[in-house]
Every structure is written in C-alpha cells, then in structure tokens.
A and B are shown apart, each in its own frame.
Chain A
Amino acid sequence: MIHFLNVSKIYDHQTALRNITFSVEKGEMAFVTGPSGAGKSTLLKIIYLSEKPDEGSVTIADWELSKLKESSIPFLRRNIGVVFQDFRLLDNRNVFDNIAMALRIRGMTEYAVKENVMEVLKVVNLRHKADSFPKTLSGGEQQRVVIARAIVGEPTVLLADEPTGNLDPDTAAGITRMFKDINAKGTTVLVATHNRELYRNTGRRIIKIDNGTIVGEEKG
C-alpha cells in the first residue's frame, strides 16, 4: 500500500530523511517511532503530499507520486485520512461542520453528509458534542474529532502524527484502541509517535527512525 524507495528529503542543507526504504502492506497497522526531529512527520507529509521528496520514489496504492499530476493530488488525498499533530480544526465551525467538511469537498449531498457524520460521531463517542466548538473541547475530545474527520470519508490509508501528544495515559489508550478498530475494518494505519506506551504489546511492526535514517524494525 505504501512503498518508499531510497527516499531523501533535504530542508535548507539539513537532511530530514536519508535514503529511506520501507513498505507498509495493505491492511497493516504499523508505527514509525523515534525521537523528536528524527523525520517522522516529514515521512508522513511525503505520504499525504504536503512535501515532495528530493530523491527516490514513493508509491501509495499504486499511485507513483512523482508521476502524479497536480490536479490529481486532491483525489489521492481523499484516500488518505490524516490525524494531524496540530489537529487543524477550524475554530469558527462546530464539531459537526469540521467533520462534514471532509465529505462536502467530495460533493456529497447534505442528507448523506448528516448521516455519515452522525455515524462517525457515534464511533468516536462524541455525538453529544456535535454542536460544540473545538475550543470548548478537551484535548482528548479534539483528538477524537480529528480522528472522526480522518475516517469519515472511509480512506484506504489512515496516517496519525503524534496522536497522543498531550493526552493522559487512559485517553491515549482509548485512541490506540480506536486505531486498532479502524485497522480491523481493513484500513491501512501508519502511526508516527515517540510514545512507547502507544505501541508496547501491540504485536505490530515498529519502524525505528533516527536522524532521518531507518535504524531498525521490531515487533511491538
């Protein structure tokens, strides 16, 4: 599903990723881990086409990114759900509208939007917060809204960048369970985190990255 081949990314003479090669198979759930500044976020950004690699090739669901026309980028992004590190929730819109946005850009009818959003709010257990605004929610609730927005369009790949950054251990465990459930339905999940608790005893593959290079792989 996700294939990196000799991928490098350099920012202003600073190497963020160096000669990275790895694959995540369809339906797999894997973790990318490493210290802050190791290159985890850059790796995810390349997958959701926010950044372009300087070298190497990246293939997502048979789409070779370097050969992708710019006008096709939105359509690939609709197949990738992203849980952003900084949430990217719109403060002037309520929970419902924040999630609905992912469906409205697809041109879905308002009736279908409402049905899908209420369904996904049930999954993340936030139905009672549909009319609330992001700033009135706790960190954990905001994170669940972001997850709901990422999965509402039923993407084939779900990416999560430090999804438990500022959450307490119980909430973090709940989020991890949520990812497992999403993965169990067939979605490929790739989580970037430096939080060991998140992948410990999961039995999932862990890709270790440091200083822009893959330094090892192991089972969680």
Chain B
Amino acid sequence: MYLTYSSRLAVQSIWREKWINLLSVLTIAAGLFMIMLTFFSVYNIDLATKKLPEKFSMMLYLNDGLSEQDRANIISALKKNSAVERVKFISKDKALEELKGVLKNADYVLEGINENPLPASIEIKLRQESVSIANVKKLATDIKKIKGVDEVEYGEQFLNSIHSIKAGAQTLGLLLISIMSTGVVFVCYSTVKIMFYRRKEEIETFKLLGATRAFIRAPFVIEGGIIGTCGGLVCLLGTLAFYYALFNKLAVTMPVFKIIVFPSEIFVALPVAGLVLGISGAVIALGRIRFS
C-alpha cells in the first residue's frame, strides 16, 4: 500500500518538475557513458595484455661440453616445475641452422668462423597464469642455480612494460570510474534535494499527521531510482549507437578495430548502475529526518 502510494507520488513529482528531471537524466546519462567508455577501454587493455603472454618464452643457454646425462637432468628438473608448460631443447647445430635460416642472403657474416659459436639452449614455455614479473624472476633465479645453465634470458623489459600498462590502465580506470560515479551520485543528490526543499511544507504536514520516516523517504528514493534508471537507459541508447558505429562502420574501414571486444554485460549493467547510483544519491540527500 505504502509502495503504491509512494510510487504514485514519485511519478507525480517527476512529471511536475519534468524539465529539471530531464536535465538530471541527461547529465546522469553522460556520466554513465564516460564510466562505460572507461570500463570498455580498461577491459580491452586487460584482454590485450592477457593475450601477449601466450607468446612469452624463456631461453636457457647451456654451458659448452655438457654431458648427455647433465642435459637430461636439466630438462627433467624443468619439467617438474609447475610453472613450466613446455620444454624444447635446441642443440648447437640446430641453433646455427636456425640462424642461417634467419640470415638467408646475409650468411656471409658467418664466413671465416670455423667453429660453431652458438651455445645449446632450452626454450621454456610458461603456463599463462605463471607469467607474472615475480614468478618469472623467481623462476629465472632458480634455473640459474642449476648446474650446466650458463645464462637465462626472458625479456624482462617486455614483461615489465606489459604489467605497467595493465596496472596503469586499471588504476586510472578505477580512479575515473570512482570520480564519475561520485558525479552521478551528486547529480541525483542535488535533484532529490531540490525536490525535497520544494516539498518542504508538504513534508512538514505529513510529519504532523503522523507519517513515519519510511513513508516520507519512499517517494524520494523511488524518484532517485527512476531518474537514475532513466539516465542508465538513455546511456544505453548512446552505447548502442557507439557499438554500431564501432563495429559496423569503423571496423569495416579500419580492420584494427576488429580485435576490440565489447562485453555484452554492459547493456544490463548500465540501467542497474543508474538505479543503484540514483537510490544512493537520494538516500544521502534525505539524510536523517527529524520529527521535533
């Protein structure tokens, strides 16, 4: 009963102050659109950095003159490590062959070299979940201690860059989303506060007639929720337009955009985020209602 009457009051109030509410809805929609863009960017950066470690590998260069048994021991020790997915031995001859393949017509640089200067090596492919800076550094240190291993190479710079980009994007994204969310809450807060002051006399009369806090608050909370949800729905329309432009227009002319992924959860999350932020703004705006 309370809810039906409160909802009716909320809808009446929204209609009575339609222009100010429309402005709030558009402002909330703009704020939510920025939040969506930030989330979308961070999501794609995260996805891209997740894919890069698939190509990540470690190279172990072995000492010259290592016996078959020592080599087998090293490979066996590596295979036992839970972070290691695949181990590939590259002999000195194979290494030279590969180098020649790479040099092709420039193989004259090898002329005059009688002895194979390349060391035998082992290529290690790590499990994707193990490719973190700390894990790789620890593994490299452990491997270096194995007898017969001369040097370990793993592209430290490359790994650091990936993790820096990922961490930076996440931190910046979180910061931007927090700021935008606070902005949306503030818009809802201001709208409900204005409505509350405009209906101050009416609320005073309600109080004197015996209305409880819940009865007084309910229409404003519903109003905040409706405004927030409408903001979310308007933002959803904008997002659909953005999605259409990105995948049906830009991706056709510029194939690079084809690698971008658009998480479909965004379509549901926007109205829900609007609702939650709208209600939060209303609750903060109403504060504590006093009766005397």
Contact = CB atoms under 8 A, between A and B. Distances in A.
A101 B206 contact: yes
Interface residues of A, number: 29
A70 interface: yes
B211 A73 contact: no
B214 to A, nearest CB: 10
A105 interface: yes
A70 B291 contact: yes
A3 to B, nearest CB: 19
The CB with the most chain B CB atoms within 10 A, among A48, A75, A107, is that of A107
B151 interface: no
B291 A49 contact: yes
Interface string B198-221: 000110111111111101000000
B211 A105 contact: yes
A90 B206 CA distance: 10
Nearest to B6: A104
Given A88-B205, A108-B1, A74 B210 contact: yes
A77 B5 contact: no
A90 B291 CA distance: 19
A131 to B, nearest CB: 17
A101 B209 contact: yes
Contacts of B202: 90
A105 B213 contact: no
Interface string A9-50: 000000000000000000000000000000000000000111
Given A49-B292, A51-B292, A73-B291, A109 B1 contact: yes
Contacts of A138: none
Contact of B291 (A74, A101, A105, A106): A74
B213 A71 contact: yes
A159 B2 CA distance: 27
Nearest to A107: B1
Contacts of A82: 208
Nearest to A108: B1
A194 interface: no
Interface in A106-139: 106-110
B145 interface: no
Interface in A52-82: 52, 70-71, 73-78, 82
B213 A50 contact: no
Contacts of A50: 208, 292
A102 interface: yes
Nearest to B5: A104
B2 A77 contact: no
Nearest to A105: B211
B1 A70 contact: no
A48 B208 contact: yes
Contacts of B16: 92
B290 interface: yes
Contact of B209 (A51, A70, A102): A102
A107 B2 contact: yes
Contacts of A77: 207-210
Interface string B1-20: 11011000000000010000
Interface string B249-292: 00000000000000000000000000000000000000000111
Nearest to B3: A107
A153 B2 CA distance: 17
Contacts of A52: 292
Contacts of A84: 208
A109 B2 CA distance: 9
Nearest to A101: B209
Contact of B210 (A70, A71, A78): A78
The CB with the most chain B CB atoms within 10 A, among A71, A106, A108, is that of A106
Contact of B212 (A51, A74, A108): A74
Nearest to A46: B292
15 contacts: A49-B292, A50-B292, A70-B291, A70-B292, A73-B292, A74-B210, A75-B210, A77-B209, A78-B209, A82-B208, A90-B201, A102-B209, A104-B1, A105-B212, A153-B210
Interface of A: 48-52, 70-71, 73-78, 82, 84, 88, 90, 92, 101-102, 104-110, 149, 153
Given A70-B292, A76-B210, A149-B209, 19 more contacts: A48-B208, A50-B208, A73-B292, A74-B207, A74-B213, A77-B207, A88-B204, A90-B201, A90-B205, A92-B16, A101-B205, A102-B209, A102-B210, A104-B1, A105-B206, A105-B210, A108-B1, A110-B4, A153-B210
